[in-house]
Every structure is written in C-alpha cells, then in structure tokens.
Amino acid sequence: MPTLVLRLRPEKLTNPDADLRYLVPRLLCERCEGKLHEDGYDYEDDNALLLFLKADAPEQVLPRVWEILETEPVLGNTLALAAELWVEETD
C-alpha cells in the first residue's frame, strides 16, 4: 500500500508544538473519510517532522490533503506553508 509522507519544517510553523505529530494525522484521516490511515512519524536531523499515512489510492486523497493543509489551521499553524508532501510506493 502506498505511503503519503508529509514533511513539516518547524522553522516555517508559527507554533511548532510536538502535539502536531498526533493532531495532524488524526485531522487528515478524519477529513479523508477512511481513505487515509495513520502509519507513524519520525524526525529528521534538522528537526523536520515526517508523518506517514497509508492510502490505497493516493491520487484520490492528495487534493483533499492539500485542501486541508491550506484551510484548516492546527495549533495556530497554516500547515501548507511548512509542508512538503510526496508518495512512496511500497513493494
């Protein structure tokens, strides 16, 4: 199942609260109505937060994910300003 990877750069966030690692995936999964599932998180060396989300058909959820990132602030953050999003295929 393909994995959507959402990378959030802390220096671009108004409030880089650690709770984002739980709140953002929960929000995205709720708003994507069962087409997206949480699959963990990690941090990079530069403290960027990586969120992993599973999707059977990522091309169907990507537009909705971007819409949410642009329009629904989380802890005072407009996430689209700090986000990079890509799909990783798994074997």
Tell me the mean pLDDT in the region 32-44.
96
Host domain of residue 45: 3-88
Q: CATH number of the domain at 23, please.
A: 3.30.70
pTM of the predicted model as reported, rounded to 2 decimal places? 0.93
Residue 27 is predicted with a pLDDT of 98
> For residue 81, which amino acid is it?
L
Domain count within the chain: 1
pLDDT digits (tens, 9 = 90+) for 40-84: 999 999 999 999 999 989 999 999 999 999 999 999 999 999 999
Q: Is the dihedral of CA 29, 34, 40, 44 positive or negative?
A: negative
pLDDT of the residue at 23: 98
Q: Using alpha carbons, select from 82, 1, 80 the residue that is nearest to residue 35.
A: 1
Query: Which pLDDT score is estimated for 91?
Result: 54
Compute the distance between CA of residue 85 and CA of residue 66 in angstroms, rounded to an integer: 9
